[in-house]
Structure 1
Amino acid sequence: MENGSILIYQSSDGQTAIDVTLENDTLWLTQKQIAELFGTQRPAITKHLNNLFKTNEIEENSVRSILEHTATDGKKYETKYYNLDAVLSVGYRVNSKNATRFRIWTNKVLKEYLVKGYSLNEKRLQETAQQFNALQQTVRLLSNVLEPNALSSDEASGLIKVLTDYTYALDVLDKYDHRSLTVEATHKQSSFIATYDEAMKAIHSLKDKFGGSSLFGNEKDESFKSSIATIYQSFAGVDLYPSIEEKAAHLLYFVVKNHSFSDGNKRIAAFLFVWFLEKNGLLYRNDGTKRIADNALVALTLMIAESKPDEKDIMAQVVVNLINGYN
């Protein structure tokens, strides 16, 4: 996936062939190419993109780039290109056979390129064995999610973001003298202590706001109370999870894995994770952007749900690595 390389996509009926520009590890297509890809007209693509931008489902500046394009007459023009996030989002709005084929194709490519054939400087990472092993396990966990599931556009984009953000974070850690994944750039001083009663009040507010079945948030046993207590557990006066980030990561893990509620366990876990970070003033960076994107949180929650019990530590490391001070 080198910058400037070309990938050819062809639909199964042999009618559609698109030159895909790969730049900064994502594909870029013009509106005309997207229309050809999905077997529709350019005005339809313009409409879908405008609606996506208007509703803030995707941010225009993050998915659009002005690239130099050479026309058939040899002249060079500046042309708007849209990346994979935009193409996927449009593809899930277009109703056509080509759009369906493309969704199948992207899931296949996602698995082949990002899970089976991820491209990293292996020699460099092997110099920091802990980081390299952590990345290998992360990729395997991504594979666990991809194997049994047909992913939506948002879930697929989330998995891509988890992997790209995680490898970026590893690179940053490497530059910082091979520091640990879990204990660097975290925050030790909590401004908020989560209690069982406060957490249940937050869960009930979630149900009231968005609706839900009568079983949503209904506790099956005492395990949720235990999850809240466990993140504050200590031994010999030392917290087992000393930072806010580690507490948040384990809260997400425990709520997903303990299945404490009759319905909505993953939604409740993701909500409490965000709630806990927000209450401690760590949900947003200094520039006002979220430390972890919504689709990446969806992907992490799915990864935790599919992970094995002996993978708890690596899952916690992944989560902490994506929300610590380096990101």
Structure 2
Amino acid sequence: MAEEKGEILIYSSDDGVTKIDVRLEDETVWLTQQQLADLYHTSKSNVSEHITNIFKEGELDEAATVRKFRTVQIEGGRNVERNLLHYNLDMIISLGYRITSITATKFRQWATARLKEYMQKGFTMDDERLKNFGGGGYFKELLERIRDIRASEKVFYRQVLEIYATSVDYDPKAQTSIEFFKKVQNKIHFAVHGETAAEVIYHRVDAEKEFMGLMSFKGDQPTLGEAKIAKNYLNEKELRAMGQIVSGYLDFAERQAEREIPMTMDDWARHLDNILTMSGEKLLEGNGSVSHQKAIDKVEQEYKKYQAKTLSSVEKDYLETIESLGKIERKGSKHS
């Protein structure tokens, strides 16, 4: 019996609202204990313990909730068919109220909102599912979002942050997010040229160099703000390498969405490290030898020196005008 058993996915939308995407078969969904663990981002042993308690307490009837399905799985590098226990939508909901995880919390928030709406109105409706004729729109929307990120002109590391924010369990306050936000820019810089963002600024800014050592900026001269941005000190080869790293990250994101494989915060954090080490690059450990403040202090010192020895465009205009007037005056005195 290799029949369809439905799908369910709990995720956060762009605006942080919890959504549930469900594809039902015969008005229910059947998941194994491992799939239930993956759904709520917990351990299989934790799921098993809760299932035992649910049946022991009489919350659900085991005969009506459990069914065996023949499932093909890979064991020792070969496909093996086994009869595995699957649990229906009733069990999925019951587990959502017992498991302690970020995803389970999001499920409870979603379910409470639906229950509140039902108690107030006597009915509850999922407008998005009605628009999409029964759901299944998550991965289509995700693919469009990834392609929008690729087409954007955002700084490379910000594109990586945007992809990270597509995690099904995305929570900006989670410890995984805090660590990712702190290190993502430095990890990419370090993989490209062996220095953190602060280190590359500190070691390359120099009032004696042309344009203070900056390789890219707008206008005739770099501004103080531009001098504080690490990417502006990178040469063409380094920028190309940085673009290739981010492109690989986006390619993987697109493939996962096309294959309808949900990605968690941990998945994305781990995959960034995989991409950075794939070509033999060193992975950043620690926070580097130069603090952000130390780099900024040096930039401000060098910028003052640079300004003192560099003429502004209006000063150049002034001197050119004075010089041309002097030539005219000297020329006039010769003819008099």
Do they fold alike, i.e. is TM over 0.5? no
Q: TM-score, normalised by structure 2?
A: 0.29
Bigger Rg, which one = 2
| Normalised TM-score (structure 1) | 0.29
